[in-house]
């Protein structure tokens, strides 16, 4: 039992080592690859959409369709939890 547990831990550490070695292929921290779309959002969010908060204007206006899907997912999760616990709960 001890040998198999040691082997399991060793394989987990091996996976960790592979993940940390893969960090060498990433770009240096603080230099995004391509930021043309985000520069457009930052430059035009106040003129077109009249919001000071660029993140909120992206969530609700430039990419509002994704937020509609997300609200539907939250609604479905609430409906599923209510359906699972319907049997013995009143009110």
Partner 1 sequence: MKPMSVVVRSVFCVFGWFVLVFGAYVIVHGHLTPGGGFQGGAVFATFFAALMASLGEGAFGESVSSRFLSTVESLGLLLFWLLGLLGMGRTFFHNFLAGSGSILFGGSVPVGPNEGALATGGTVALMNLSVGMEVVAGLTLITVYMALARLVVPDGGERGHDR
Partner 2 sequence: MTGSMPYVAVAVLFLCGLYMVLFEHNLFKIALGITVMEASANLFLVVLGYRSGGGIPVYTLASREAMVLPTPQALTLTAIVIGLATTALLLSLVVWAYRHYGTLDIQQIRRLRG
Q: Is 84 in the site for partner 2 (CB under 8 A)?
A: yes
Q: Using a CB cutoff of 8 Å and minimum separation of 24, what contacts does 66-69 make?
A: none
Instruction: Compute the distance between CA of residue 70 and CA of residue 58 in angstroms, rounded to an integer.
Output: 14
Residues that bind partner 1 (CB under 8 A): 46-53, 55-57, 59-61, 64-65, 67-68, 71-72, 74-75, 77-78, 81-82, 85, 87-89, 91
The residues in 61-80 that bind partner 2, with binding defined as CB under 8 A, are 63, 66-67, 70, 73-74, 76-78, 80
- Cβ-based nearer residue to partner 2, 57 or 91: 57
Q: How far is the CB of 48 from partner 2 (least distance, A)?
A: 13
- Cβ-based nearer residue to partner 1, 15 or 81: 81
Q: To which H or E segment does residue 40 belong? A: helix 36-49
What are the two backbone dihedrals, phi and then psi, of residue 87, each rounded to the nearest 5 degrees?
Answer: -60, -55
Instruction: Compute the distance between CA of residue 91 and CA of residue 7 in angstroms, rounded to an integer.
Output: 52
């Amino acid at each position: 039992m001890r040998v198999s547990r040691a082997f399991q831990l060793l394989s987990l550490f091996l996976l960790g080592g592979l993940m940390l070695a893969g960090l060498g292929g990433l770009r240096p921290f603080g230099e995004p690859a391509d930021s043309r779309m985000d520069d457009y959002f930052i430059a035009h969010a106040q003129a077109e959409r009249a919001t000071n908060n660029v993140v909120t204007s992206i969530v609700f206006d430039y990419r509002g369709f994704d937020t509609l899907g997300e609200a539907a997912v939250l609604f479905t999760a609430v409906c599923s939890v209510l359906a699972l616990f319907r049997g013995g709960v009143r009110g």
